[in-house]
Amino acid sequence: MIKVMIAEDDVSQLQLFNNFLTKETNFRVVALTKSGKETIEKYLEEKPDVLFLDLDMPNIDGLGVLKYLKEKSDKKNIIVTSHSKELISNLYDFSNIYRLMPKPFDYFKAVSVAQELVSTHSLISTKEKIKHILSELGFNPSSTGTDNFVELIYIKYQRKNSNLKLNKLYSITASKIGFYTALQIKWSIDNSLSSAKRCMNKELLYSIFDNYNPTYGMTPLYLSDLIVDSLRKDIV
**CATH number, residue 145:** 1.10.10
Cα 31 to Cα 178: distance, rounded to the nearest angstrom: 43
Q: Report how many domains make up the chain.
A: 2
Mean pLDDT score across all residues of the chain: 88
Same domain, residue pair 62 and 141: no
Whether the pLDDT of residue 81 is over 50: the answer is yes
Cα 119 to Cα 100: distance, rounded to the nearest angstrom: 18
Whether the pLDDT of residue 235 is over 60: the answer is no
- Tell me what the mean pLDDT of segment 193-218 comes to: 92
pLDDT score recorded for residue 36: 93
Ordered DSSP codes for 33-44: ESSHHHHHHHHH
Domain-ending residue, one of 120, 154, 177: 120
Whether the pLDDT of residue 74 is over 80: the answer is no
Cα 207 to Cα 203: distance, rounded to the nearest angstrom: 6
Identify whether the C-beta of residue 137 lies closer than 8 Å to the C-beta of residue 199.
yes
Query: Does residue 132 lie in a domain region?
Result: no
Whether the pLDDT of residue 212 is over 60: the answer is yes
Same domain, residue pair 47 and 116: yes
pLDDT score recorded for residue 126: 81
pLDDT score recorded for residue 170: 95
Domain containing 113 equals 2-120
Whether the pLDDT of residue 40 is over 90: the answer is yes
- Tell me what the mean pLDDT of segment 164-182 comes to: 90
Same domain, residue pair 162 and 62: no
Same domain, residue pair 93 and 181: no
> CATH number for the domain including 47?
3.40.50.2300
| pLDDT confidence bin for 25, thresholds 50/70/90 | low
Same domain, residue pair 6 and 38: yes
pLDDT score recorded for residue 123: 65
Instruction: Give the strands of the sheet with 2-7, arranged side by side.
Output: 27-33, 2-7, 50-54, 78-82, 97-102
- CA 144 from centre of chain: 22
Coil, strand, or helix at residue 179?
Answer: coil
Coil, strand, or helix at residue 104?
Answer: coil
- Position with higher pLDDT, 33 vs 89: 33
Same domain, residue pair 17 and 58: yes
Same domain, residue pair 31 and 97: yes
Cα 67 to Cα 93: distance, rounded to the nearest angstrom: 9
Rounded to the nearest 10 degrees, the angle between the axes of helix 107-136 and helix 11-22 is: 60
Coil, strand, or helix at residue 75?
Answer: coil
Identify whether the C-beta of residue 58 lies closer than 8 Å to the C-beta of residue 36.
yes
Alpha-helical segments (H) within 24-181: 36-46, 62-72, 85-89, 107-136, 144-158, 166-177
Q: Which residue, 103, 111, 109, is CA-closest to 54?
A: 103
Q: How many CB atoms lie within 10 A of CB 8?
A: 23
Same domain, residue pair 231 and 196: yes
pLDDT score recorded for residue 92: 64
Same domain, residue pair 48 and 141: no
pTM (2 d.p.): 0.55
Query: Does residue 62 lie in a domain region?
Result: yes
| pLDDT confidence bin for 115, thresholds 50/70/90 | confident
- Tell me what the mean pLDDT of segment 176-200 comes to: 93
| pLDDT confidence bin for 17, thresholds 50/70/90 | very high
Same domain, residue pair 13 and 109: yes
Same domain, residue pair 11 and 104: yes
Whether the pLDDT of residue 236 is over 60: the answer is no
